Chain A
Amino acid sequence: MTWLWNFISSSIGKKLLMALSGLFFCSFLLVHMAGNMTIFIGPETFNAYTAIMSSASINKVLEVVMVLLFLVHIYTSATLTIENRAARPEKYAMDVSAGKRTFMSSNMFITGSIILIFVIVHLIGFKYGDWSAEPGATNTMYALLAETYASIFWTAVYVIAVIVLGFHLNHAFQSAFQTLGLNHKKYTPFIKKLGTLYSIVIALGFASFPVFFFVQQLSAGG
């Protein structure tokens, strides 16, 4: 198995691990967002959805896979970032972009670190929060969401976090395809546009949930 270790510990192997785990998260985010859309149908539908999600045994397997891939993504990005910083011990006194550098491409580690903190806060707050999917329970996930997003602080935290996520995804999406070796004039311009669209849809989609609850309680209170 030396070949496998040589492969995944090489610069290109590590990039491949980043790309594959990242693309898995890209598809997860779409499913997560689509599921959350049941919020807009109503509390009953959303709570029924959370009951299915928390009881389906396939999700237990997927959770383990996702935690492992998350650790791979974090570990590999940390290793790559350390190596990249070490590759230029002396900085330039003057450094100007030739035009390809973007806020997204140059801050992947920072946006990624913010997302990591956010994911931990998010899991503590919701997945492991005080809620129940039992029939007749009053402390439903919907109630927990409504309670959390009644606070302008939590609404702001979530909106800012998903905007940061959008910036991360904007570079990540098209970058993953390049790493897979898929760069061709036939489809690369399309992938880049799709990546931008994807990152905007994800950011707006996820921002819509806290904003929905926040606005709802504002109008209810007013």
Chain B
Amino acid sequence: MNLTLKIWRQANAQTKGKLVTYQISDISPDMSFLEMLDVLNQQIILKGEDPVAFDNDCREGICGMCSLYINGRAHGAQSEATVCLLHMRSFKDGDTITIEPWRAKAFPVIKDLVVDRSAFDRIIQAGGFVSAKTGAPQDANALPVAKRNADLSMDAAACIGCGACVASCKNASAMLFTSAKISQLALLPQGQAERDRRALAMVKTMDDAGFGNCTNEGECEAECPKAIKMTNIARLFREYYRASIVSEEM
């Protein structure tokens, strides 16, 4: 396959970036998208230039590191998959592919296609945990959990924190991410003790990070590689209302 790539190049957070066009040939349709970028970088390095920086790690769709906006879509047009699971057979010979970083004030570009997603870490640090001394392993059924809650919690916990929800939201809102991290704990008995404090602190941190507001459009849900549902955002609202209005939390 022969392709034209338009890739966002930006030296660092301070400088302005621009789309740079590259031609690449003899790409196998069996390559993954990231392998194609590896081939491109090899060519760039051989020319003595600076290779394209992009985030990636596990390359099997579970770590959430890869984060490319491909032809106007987070992780490309393929549904329920990260960039590393996107293959070149999804494109046609002669295609032009535009590759941009996630765009959000809360996710500043570090270099080229790499953005700083530590705002997500700060949201987790604010309350996305259970502080309990776990002690020795418990008997498996010591804490009864309704099957439907276990399923819903597991579905929410599938979030890999890649940021596709923020990237695809027209408002760069982080509500799908935050709602997944709140839901996974709110649905389980272990999450109850810190439930209200968690909702207040995580929403406050999310707001302070400079993310936009949710306008209930649903692009996040459609782009999420782990199919996190907007019902989690409704649960986030309920948790927040409860914490603000009903709970003893100040």
Contacts and interface: CB of A to CB of B under 8 A. Distances in A.
Q: Do A and B come from one complex?
A: yes
B236 interface: yes
B171 A92 contact: no
Interface residues of A, number: 44
Nearest to A105: B217
Interface residues of B, number: 52
A143 to B, nearest CB: 43
B73 A96 contact: yes
A96 B70 CA distance: 10
A181 B103 contact: no
Interface stretch (B28-36, B138-146, B154-162, B205-213): B205-213
B5 interface: no
Interface in A174-222: 174-175, 178-185
A98 B214 CA distance: 16
A102 B218 CA distance: 10
Contacts of A105: 215-218
Contact of B214 (A11, A101, A171): A11
A92 B237 contact: no
Contacts of B103: 88, 90-92
B219 A11 contact: no
A1 to B, nearest CB: 12
Interface of B is mostly: mixed
A106 B245 CA distance: 31
Contact of A178 (B170, B173, B234): B234
Contacts of A185: 231
B123 to A, nearest CB: 12
B206 A11 contact: yes
A41 interface: no
Interface in A78-93: 80, 83-84, 86-93
Contact of B98 (A89, A93, A179): A93
B212 A84 contact: yes
Contacts of A106: 170, 217
B238 interface: yes
B162 to A, nearest CB: 15
B112 interface: no
A184 B232 CA distance: 10
A183 B234 contact: yes
B69 A84 contact: no
A182 to B, nearest CB: 7
B244 interface: yes
Contact of B241 (A16, A90, A171): A16
A165 interface: no
A3 B196 CA distance: 13
Contacts of B233: 178, 183
Contacts of A11: 173, 175, 203, 206-207, 211, 213-214
Interface string B161-205: 000000010111101000000000000000000000000000110
Interface of A: 3, 6-7, 10-16, 80, 83-84, 86-102, 105-106, 108, 171, 174-175, 178-185
Among all A-B residue pairs, the 3 with the closest Cβ atoms: A87-B212, A96-B72, A183-B234
22 contacts: A6-B204, A11-B207, A11-B211, A12-B241, A13-B244, A84-B172, A84-B213, A84-B215, A87-B210, A88-B172, A91-B103, A97-B219, A100-B218, A100-B221, A105-B216, A105-B218, A174-B216, A181-B235, A183-B231, A183-B234, A184-B234, A185-B231
